[in-house]
Amino acid sequence: MNIPENSKTKRISIDLPEELISRFDQLRKEWGFRARGPVIEKILKELLKDDDLLPKNQQQEIDFNENKNNDNLNMDEDTALVLIKSDLKKEINEISLNKKFTNNNQYNEKANSNISLPNFVEKKVKNLRRSINSEKLKGNINDIQINTIKETELIKCRIGLISHWKTLYGSVPNDHVVEASMDWFERDIWPNLDGTENLPFTWSAANKLMSELCPFWIKKNPSLEIVLLMIGVLEDPFATSDLINRIPTLMRRFVSRFKRNNRSNSFETLDSTMTVHGALKLLNLSTSAGSAHSFRKIREAYKSIALETHPDAGGSTDQMRKLNEAYQLLKNLYRN
């Protein structure tokens, strides 16, 4: 999670029993985070902050793109990117806690508000536990009989969603995209759904709500198509027969939300959907283990291919977009 340069932050390390780490990782998955640091931050925000008391301009947004203030940093053109082969996965046991205070005076006013802190925290904890546990979300939700949702229609929509994404971006959604979709689900969609009053968003709660509307629903791991499918159903459960026709609109809403919030260029949207290997291949550079590529070499390769790929030279606009995306991704690796 990126934090503005002018914010006051501290980094801490915490030693926890393995059992608590396991429960901690469960929360990480429930909220769709890839790292552990944002989990602690969100727990504290859920327990100690009240959305009705905190102005919206103080609510922290997750930035899925690099800080744009770093665009003018110097490049080391001779430092080489070296590809290595490794089957080992290292787990980082350090938990980063980033706390953002955009207005100290308003924060102090909130701390002095008439809240019985023990009862307030206890209520927040109960709501969070209720969200994680697979209990019924709302007493009267099953009073509304919805018999129009068909499993075959949802399967077609799921296939249509992933196909539409591949058509737009030419690759499978990566972890950055999935995390972004979960953030959109939590911040913009979940608070406006029936049956979610005073209930924090978790993946378990979202799937429970789906299963109460669709008896055939089986909880799955988060993926872009699953998240968007659930959003489409939960927003309007009586119009699922038309959901497949709303796929382009649903996808456009998702992408536009992050373009607007992050002010990113098209090839930087959602922290890029391209991998380093994919970028190197587009520039006709070796992806073999041991290959070393300096930024100077990458830039020359980009210039050479761009002359042939540019639309003015008879090339494809889409191919030029992908080439720009590849160059931008590799360029960011060399920022000091």
User: Which pLDDT score, from 0 to 100, does residue 112 have?
Assistant: 44
Q: Which of 266-279 are b and which e, b meaning 16 or more Cβ less than 10 Å from the residue's Cβ?
A: ebbbbbbbbeeebb
Residue type, 76: D
Look at the pTM and tell me if it is higher than 0.75. no
User: Which pLDDT score, from 0 to 100, does residue 42 have?
Assistant: 72
Long-range contacts of 83-92 (CB under 8 A, 24+ apart): 83/287, 83/288, 83/289, 83/290, 83/291, 83/292, 84/289, 84/290, 85/289, 92/36
SS3 286: coil
- Going by the DSSP 8-state scheme, the letter that residue 335 receives in this structure is B
Q: What is the pLDDT along the chain (336 residues), one digit of tens a residue?
A: 445 444 577 777 777 777 777 777 777 777 777 777 777 777 777 666 554 444 444 444 434 444 444 444 556 666 666 666 554 444 333 333 333 334 444 444 444 444 444 454 455 555 565 555 655 554 444 444 455 688 999 999 999 999 999 888 888 888 888 888 998 998 899 988 887 877 888 898 899 889 888 889 998 899 999 999 999 999 988 888 889 999 998 998 998 887 766 544 444 444 445 577 778 888 898 888 778 888 889 989 998 988 888 877 788 877 888 888 888 878 877 764
Residue 80, both tokens: 């080489």
**What are the phi and psi torsion angles at 171 (to 5°)?**
-155, 165
User: Which pLDDT score, from 0 to 100, does residue 20 have?
Assistant: 73
Which residue stretches of 53-114 are H helix? 104-111
